[in-house]
Structure 1
């Protein structure tokens, strides 16, 4: 009983710390101790083994995925410094107009994140531009926040095949699949997320207009608006989109070529390169992101003239997101050593649910506990995924369904990404969390359950018992 009390107290305390804005490193270590001590885990084992270096250790995760975070942050910095990201945003804004302000926010964020630009760079890029749009359209900020969250934090993050997102890479690395695994069901889920999400925010805007709710400026808006700069200094949108095309091309072209024939290492350098790309779910997307960064340096003078500074600042920008995620996973590494977690794992595997629904339940629960989709997904892949493979769940389907499920209940109020987004936009949970909850929790959950329902209806995704 004492062990269960410690487990739930540690989880509750982690959520409370997150909502209070306590540093995640301190919070995760303190909460790990709250879990460990009542469960009889000795301090040296908790702090020097399970938290840092175990299969779910913070440093284990950071070491494995450091290169991907590094290359992603460098690419995001290159796109921001060159103003290529801003150019794309401005071009789409001019093309769609303020009447479609919400669609502009969603499309730009989706395009940038699918192309490999990290979420926080996208938010910083879009919000100063969004201020102008919100002012012109008299759009409440809470609704703009939700629209950008649809593009940056839902379907491009977990559902769309081929994306170099950390969720896609975690699944591919753990299961031996590639970034395109379960592609068709991912497209189905993405369509639901985008469609339902946009329907909701457009409906909310209509209600806001009817009730007289509109845009209200605050001090944060005035500070952020200074970051817009001169649009005339940005490259043309046609040139600005080339780095994104390069990233996606490097990822997708090998997949297309591999599908056109049988290749072996004896077929020459091209064949060996193609086979290498398929076998390296971490290295290959990282290479693609570096190709995109170098493309920025070649095409855009303001990035080329300070390439050392851009790459250096990008490397520095990668540290905090990597360590924040690693800290949550380190806490999970201690949790997984408790008897309570073992009993939870046995219970969830023993519940009389179809395997894919059981996958949804287990991944969703883990993501909700740690307030992180990537953290919950990594814990699932390390602890429970092998059992589902033994049940006959096909690796490609497990890859995609687990990734989609991770992006649902992760966005509870203590989610770090939610808190950071509200801080950037000068919003509070009271003002904006209802809309964020609908588009990043309710809609992804519906999309995941609908995808599972379609797979079950078609009778695919789970191999029949031998």
Structure 2
């Protein structure tokens, strides 16, 4: 009955998400199904396991709230100042409209790698992207795929140094830094970007030649993108991103040259940064706020209101993520989940393949890469360390594995992307599935092969 209840709860969560039911409502209903079918006291399940347990929704909310707020305010300032649009528009000017899919994917990647929320990036890039694909005769569903690739794959899970929640979660749980296993992460990023763009571009060319684009031949019109004098220059627009990423990397770089036992101010700062894997990115993002305000005049207009808007924008993303994690927390308390854990750890397979399977399944159940990763690290992470996987390798592989099955149709991020871009599952989910599910799994398998060859 317990396993049956988990399956019913998951199907209910997927169906409600597909029908546009609020994720908070869907998460609570699915949680109740798990509690009832697994004979868990409802009061205990909701008040302890769901809300305030070790993996509870509001435990997570409290721990990561400042990171979400800092990132959302940074994103609001980048958007309000015109910096995000400037970066995207400059890429369009330099590359040409016929490379619209590259422009959209790279603009999203640059901004998310710099710490800007994927949803802020989407709003910043969406208008320009719509103009570009109209000029180049590219169908909207390919644009959706490019956004998913740039904003929701390698900069979320694989790229070394990214201040994404997934990277921070792994660093906090395993006491590593955001640049853990950089070679695996960098290769995984290249695989995701390379295969993703190969697929999207091949579809673009196929549609153009078959008449799905402009017509029977691959002919581009209005390729030149005019300069927009209303936007700030790309260089000061890019500097805040560089500042944030540079500060995040600084402790790792300095740590190679500074003796932590020396007692110097620099050594103390490096030690503090390494001991604060969640709060250090918050500090870096706050410094990024000031960089935007100092470098971009428009950012100084209504700055208090923009900061307030950014803070408000942080609440729903962190709450939605917390609800999904709360659902997963209840699942993790069931005997069925414990059976899953024991089975995965006892299977006669490579620990690395077992790791990939475990993270992928949990992320798929929760419909959240960060939720699945959080639950895996808290319930199974130590067991995989004891199997001999180095902490930095576990960090990178678990983060990469979390970014595959999480993007099934019930994923809240997928639904939000489609809604904002005026599309739906029928029109665009095929592209999302290939670039956000299939290709990340391939990249994770390549990462596992590298880990087996060079680290174990």
State the TM-score, normalized to the length of structure 2: 0.95
The 8 Å contact of residues 258 and 267 in structure 2, kept in 1 or not, is answered as: no
2:224 is matched with none
Select 1:448's aligned residue among 438, 444, 450.
Answer: 444
2:388 is matched with 392
- 1:313 aligned to 2:342? no
Q: Quote how far apart the aligned CAs of 1:306 are.
A: 1.5
1:106 is matched with 105
User: For the residues of structure 1 that align with 2:96 and 2:164, how far apart are their CA atoms?
Assistant: 29
- 1:348 aligned to 2:347? no
Give secondary structure in 2 for the equivalent of 1:37: helix
1:176 is matched with 175
Q: Quote how far apart the aligned CAs of 1:269 are.
A: 1.7
Range 299-308 or range 396-405, more displaced: 299-308
Q: Quote how far apart the aligned CAs of 1:47 are.
A: 1.2
Q: Quote how far apart the aligned CAs of 1:137 are.
A: 0.3
- 1:262 aligned to 2:259? yes
Across the aligned residues of Structure 1 and Structure 2, the Cα RMSD in angstroms comes to 1.2
Per-residue CA deviation, residues 367-387 of structure 1 (Å, 9 max, x unaligned), is 111111001001101111111
1:326 is matched with 322
2:412 is matched with 416
The 8 Å contact of residues 158 and 400 in structure 2, kept in 1 or not, is answered as: yes
- 1:13 aligned to 2:9? no
Select 1:241's aligned residue among 238, 241, 250.
Answer: 238
User: For the residues of structure 1 that align with 2:70 and 2:287, how far apart are their CA atoms?
Assistant: 10
- 1:380 aligned to 2:376? yes
User: For the residues of structure 2 that align with 1:450 and 1:184, how far apart are their CA atoms?
Assistant: 12
Unaligned runs of 5+ in 2: 215-226
Give secondary structure in 1 for the equivalent of 2:277: coil
Q: Quote how far apart the aligned CAs of 1:103 are.
A: 1.0
Per-residue CA deviation, residues 351-405 of structure 1 (Å, 9 max, x unaligned), is 1111111110000000111111001001101111111011111100000000000
1:44 is matched with 43
Q: Quote how far apart the aligned CAs of 1:40 are.
A: 1.4
Per-residue CA deviation, residues 271-301 of structure 1 (Å, 9 max, x unaligned), is 1111111111101101111111111111222
1:206 is matched with 205
Per-residue CA deviation, residues 215-262 of structure 1 (Å, 9 max, x unaligned), is 8xxxxxxxxxxxxxx942221101101110110111112211111242
2:61 is matched with 62
State the TM-score, normalized to the length of structure 1: 0.93
Unaligned runs of 5+ in 1: 216-229
The 8 Å contact of residues 181 and 396 in structure 2, kept in 1 or not, is answered as: yes
Runs of 4 or more above 6 Å deviation: none
Number of aligned pairs?
Answer: 444
Per-residue CA deviation, residues 83-126 of structure 1 (Å, 9 max, x unaligned), is 10001111111011112111111111110000000100111111
